[in-house]
Amino acid sequence: MAAVPELTSEMMAYHSDENDLFFETDGPKQMKCCLQDLDLCYPDEGIQLQLSHQYFNKSFRQVVSLIVAVEKLRNKPIPCSQAFQNDDLKTFFSIIFEEEPMICDAWDDPAYVCDVAVRTLNCTLRDGQQKCLVLSDPCELKAVHLQESNLSQQVVFSMSFVQGERSNDKIPVALSLRGKNLYLSCVMKDKKPTLQLESVDPNEYPKKKMEKRFVFNKIEIKNRVEFESAQHPNWYISTSQENHLPVFLGNSGAQDITDFTMESVSS
């Protein structure tokens, strides 16, 4: 750390017993001094520091921090072949300030809006029996064994990485059908969590903060993935052991198939 200069007699006149001297750019009864360094700027220019004897509720530590910052600016050899520019401040900031991570507590705040672009991945899914997922009705998915020549019938999902409770083994995602305004969602029907395809407004979706019924926790197990409902924990996107039956939301522990292989598809 640069040495703190001793206060001159003139500066001591403006110093309080409580060490509350504070610097400001404008104020009554000001004293002005010029800190000038030929390596920092033109000979006819300089850094001007104005001192006010108006007292503020500031600590002596803040005063020392300001003096140290000015000393660092004076002692940093930065040639100036042209007038001082805004970009020159980047060099000073790295000297004076230390970067620290910012923690946001507004993750679950309904009023919080995140404008970061949603990252998506196009992919296909096959269950543990290698059944493909196809769109049989306008709003119904089925798991079907397809021949090689019929693979084009399987749906391509747009998997969006969204906000949610993230952990080492769970990644919150939303699943839509590529080229359609349909999202997989979990709702209660007859007092039971149910999987459905829900039509949405294409001007509003996808978005980073999806409603919870659209969110699934993608769980990777070796080379397989499972999709747990964020709205209904321990309920998973499932298929039946039998062929050509609808995809549904099942509770783990039954004979239902909950693991899938995922294959990326180019856009």
Q: Mind listing the pLDDT tens digit for each residue in 146-183?
A: 999 999 999 999 999 999 888 888 999 999 999 999 99
182-189 and 192-199 strand pairing: antiparallel
Residues 246, 174: Cα–Cα separation, whole Å: 19
- Name the residue with higher pLDDT: 95 or 136: 136
128-143 residue pLDDT tens: 999 999 998 888 999 9
Two tokens at 207? 């978005």
CA separation for the pair 129, 161 (Å, rounded): 26
The CA angle 195-200-203, to the nearest 5 degrees, is: 150
pLDDT higher than 60, residue 21: no
What is the number of other CB atoms lying within 10 angstroms of the CB of residue 151? 10
Contact assessment for residue 32 and residue 50, using Cβ atoms and an 8 Å cutoff: yes
| pTM as predicted | 0.59
Determine the average pLDDT of the residues in 232-240.
95
Where do the structural domains in the chain lie, given as residue ranges?
Answer: 120-264
How confident is the model over 90-115, as a mean pLDDT?
A: 56
- CATH number of the domain at 120-264, please? 2.80.10.50
- Asked if 183 and 214 count as a contact pair (C-beta separation under 8 A), the reply is yes
Closest by CA to 125, choosing from 6, 47, 225, 229, is: 225
pLDDT tens digits, one per residue of 191-228: 999 999 999 998 999 999 999 999 999 999 889 999 99
